[in-house]
Amino acid sequence: MLVRCTKKLLFENIVGKEISTYLEPVEKLGVYRTHCIFKPFLNFTVHYKQEEKTMTYAYIRVSTNYQTVQNQKLAIREYARYHRLHKIQWVSETISGTKNPEKRKLGKLLESVSTGDTIIVTELSRLGRSLMMILNVLQSLLEKGVKVIAIKEGYELGDNIQSKVLAFAFGLSAEIERTLLSERTKQGLERARKQGKQIGRRPGQKPKKYKLTGKAAYIKRERTAGRSKLSLAKEFNVTWVTLNKFMKKNKIN
């Protein structure tokens, strides 16, 4: 849709000319394409950058269905009302904080936010259960230029020197935590070996259970019904070759 308007612009040798201007939004380019027609006849195109809109998100998480999100919503609404924040996008989920962000709605939120956006949580523990997970999420958001508000702790992490220092500290703390975890794991495995415990499968030992274990009757029934090997292989997440070997071993046509 074309929108007609009239404005005065100053150009070299052209002062105060009335301009019939048509603004045509171009979404892919993120600009307004403006066609200006002067009298006497002069036709050219000027590009104006479209102002980017920032978003405000409220992230709410509870671990079980027995917990309620109402207290978190109330706290965020009170904060938003006091600070005059409007048009908040709510992201709510019922899932354990031990799950990685990629397996939660939080992961999709982290991918969708951009510079200048704001995420509000009632407390940092809503982002994860472990210190390393929380630090990684905060570091990722601060590096993208996203403001993080934690109401209970009173944090407002954004584009300022304090936040940049904290982002560096978060990254350093997360790296130290990963290193310590790796060291503890190695020490635990070494201690178990010295005590004579077997770590993992013995050399040459085959697993007792495969993906197709116990599925012979089902595969035979499906094959009798005319189902293809490729379809069955996709269902069990195995290759066609693996399925074919299993069928030969169990004498299934």
46 φ, ψ to 5°?
Answer: -120, 140
Q: Over 90: is that where the pLDDT of 113 sits? A: yes
- Residue 20's pLDDT is what? 41
Could you give the CA distance from residue 55 to residue 106 in angstroms, rounded to a whole number? 15
Residue 206: the pLDDT is 67
Q: What's residue 207's pLDDT?
A: 65
Distance in angstroms between the alpha carbons of the first and the last residue of the chain: 63
Distance CA 75, CA 77 (A): 6
- Cβ–Cβ < 8 Å for 235, 222: no
**Which residues are marked as active site?**
63
Query: Which residue carries 């990629």 as its tokens?
Result: 102
pLDDT at position 191, please?
85
Structure tokens at 17: 């000319």
pLDDT digits (tens, 9 = 90+) for 15-45: 444 444 444 444 444 444 444 444 444 444 4
Pairing label, strands 42-49, 88-94: unpaired
Q: Is this model's pTM higher than 0.85 or not?
A: no
| Alpha-carbon separation of residue 75 from 66, 103, 158 (angstroms) | 19, 26, 21
Instruction: Categorise residue 161: left if φ over 0, alpha if ψ from -120 to 50, beta otherwise.
Output: alpha
More confident residue, 178 or 136: 136
Q: Which residues of 66-105 are buried (b: 16+ CB within 10 A; e: fewer)?
A: eeeeeebeebbeeebeeeebeeeeebeeeeebebebeebe
Residues 189-211 have a mean pLDDT of 76
